[in-house]
Amino acid sequence: MRYVDGPTVEVDVFIAAPAGRVWELVTDIELPARFSSELQEAAWVEDGVRFVGRNFHPAMGEWETTSFVSRREPLRAFAWDVSDPDDPSSSWWFELEPGPGGVHLRQGMRIGPADSGLTIAIEAMPDKEERIIERRLAEHADNMRATLEGIKALAEGVA
């Protein structure tokens, strides 16, 4: 697995709640910061179009990114590209599949194609590129799982 291949990871959960409630939660860009160990906060800069996120990682410190909403299909999909909508450093999405008894919710992300903080680590240790990417995808998967479980608890009225 190489950076140029656009490594991707997805996680999913079934939520026993109406699609409208799940949609409301996934489009709240501030919500993932409640559950993620990396995303600290997010705020709209241009409502519904662009937002800024502040992140922290022990190995990389603190940084901010600007994200651009790239897909908004009510009750189906909400996605954004980081840094540059034409050449993102990463792309993120939520996809909803309403069905009997609730919603199958999937969150995913793709690294690249533009450079990111991960590029620095890969350039410093090119022989470890695959391991660096695998570890980063695992970190993203852990945070996405925590976010989906948090959304599930809120949507089902458990939290």
Distances (CA, A) of 77 to 61, 83, 105, 122: 31, 20, 10, 32
Domains observed in the chain: 3-155 (3.30.530.20)
For residues 141 and 13, what is the distance between their CA atoms, to the nearest angstrom? 13
For residues 73 and 67, what is the distance between their CA atoms, to the nearest angstrom? 17
User: Chain-wide mean pLDDT for the chain?
Assistant: 96
The tens place of each residue's pLDDT in the chain, 159 residues long, gives 999 999 999 999 999 999 999 999 999 999 999 999 999 999 999 889 999 999 999 988 999 999 999 999 999 999 999 999 999 999 999 999 999 999 999 999 999 999 998 999 999 999 999 999 999 999 999 999 999 999 999 999 975
What is the reported pLDDT for 47? Answer: 87
For residues 18 and 38, what is the distance between their CA atoms, to the nearest angstrom? 29
What is the reported pLDDT for 159? Answer: 58
Which pTM value belongs to this model?
0.95
